[in-house]
Amino acid sequence: MFFHIVHQLTYTYDRPVFLEPMTLRLTPRQDPTQRLLHHRLTLLPEPAGLSHVVEPDGTDAAVGWFERTHPDLTIQMEAIVQTLRDNPFDWIVTDPGAQSLPASYSESEARSLSPCLGGNGEHGEVHAWARERAQQVEGDTAAFLIDLADHIHRAFLHIGRPDGDPLSPSETLKDQRGACRDTAMLFVEACRGLGLASRFVSGYSMHHPPEVSEHELHAWAEVYLPGAGWRGYDPSLGLAVADGHVALAATPDHRLAAPVSGRFRGTGAVSEMRYDLTVRAAETLGELAVELPSPATRPLGS
């Protein structure tokens, strides 16, 4: 599958402000599941400097800094991405400890996965709920993961909520409702409560979640299975992730998946954010009717 993505964020201020250094996580990742064919990151005003960095979880990010005061800031990302995983179930689990629940990993893998393990003790009701669902599939890990995604999709009310952090997993479970980032974090916490390493993912999907009529930045979860690696599950859509999703960032802490992190300084200044997102998908690059630059561009400042 080929994707053409144009994502624009515009911040306006009621008076000129100083823009503090900001981190931009708007570069689709490159791995065995997706290839970045073209990428352009444009900032207006142009930053005084831009540094490309690899964050702790492997996210390809850019850090920009600015001079003087500015009344607004526009960030635009354009990308062409090829997604490569057409079968989300093309895997086996090579470690018997992860084939059934509660799961366990080898000592070396557990050390590497530790930030994505260890469910939060404040969410005991989520862990108990996860154990009940695991019992319904006789503790089979593979069956549990797709059953959990499908159950959240069918049983919960999915809502649009463009702003704010994810709700607490306990709150989402209690209310049986949430935006995609809320149900993603519920899925993550449920998995962690059963010993499965899980993390939060931000990106784009060719599918509209049921709560929206147009494309928005999307969120889902990934679970680590020995022999399968990181595998995506989308509880707001009720499916295992294949080639219909484009990932930007995956991290145990959802705050490190935010597309833009930064601050501004201005006494009494008020900000407003608008976004515009276009996601087009096609079976072939030609169907997208976009010209692929040669060579493929890197983000601004490369």
pLDDT one-digit tens code per residue, 149-177: 999 999 999 988 777 789 999 999 999 99
> Is the confidence at residue 301, as pLDDT, over 90?
no
For 141, the enclosing helix (H) or strand (E) is helix 141-155
pLDDT at 291: 75
Distance (Å, whole) CA 54 – CA 79 = 19
pLDDT one-digit tens code per residue, 185-232: 999 999 999 999 999 999 999 986 555 556 789 999 999 999 999 999
Topology of the domain covering 96-242: C8orf32 fold (3.10.620)
> Is the confidence at residue 298, as pLDDT, over 60?
no
pTM of the model: 0.93
Percentage above 90 pLDDT, the chain: 87
Instruction: Encode burial over 193-230: b for 16+ CB neighbours within 10 A, e otherwise.
Output: bbbbbbbbbbbbbbeebebbeebbbbbbbbbbbbebeb
Tell me whether strands 177-178 and 157-158 are parallel, antiparallel or unpaired.
parallel
| Cβ atoms of residues 160 and 212 within 8 Å | yes
CA distances in angstroms from 207 to 35, 217, 238, listed in the order given: 19, 12, 11
* Phi, psi of 15, deg, nearest 5: -160, 155
In the DSSP assignment, the letter for residue 31 is B
Task: Give span(s): CATH 3.10.620.30, the chain.
Answer: 96-242
- Reply yes or no: is the peptide bond before residue 102 cis, omega within 30 of 0: yes
Residues with Cβ within 8 Å of 240's Cβ and at least 6 positions away in sequence, in order, are 88, 89, 145, 146, 149, 231, 232, 233, 234
Distance (Å, whole) CA 158 – CA 241 = 18
pLDDT at 160: 82
Residues 229-250, mean pLDDT to the nearest whole number: 97
Residues 137-143, mean pLDDT to the nearest whole number: 98
Residues 107-128, mean pLDDT to the nearest whole number: 94
> Is the confidence at residue 40, as pLDDT, over 70?
yes
pLDDT at 197: 98
Task: Give span(s): CATH 2.60.40.2250, the chain.
Answer: 2-83+259-287
> Is the confidence at residue 297, as pLDDT, over 50?
no
Question: What CATH architecture applies to the domain 2-83+259-287?
Answer: Sandwich (2.60)
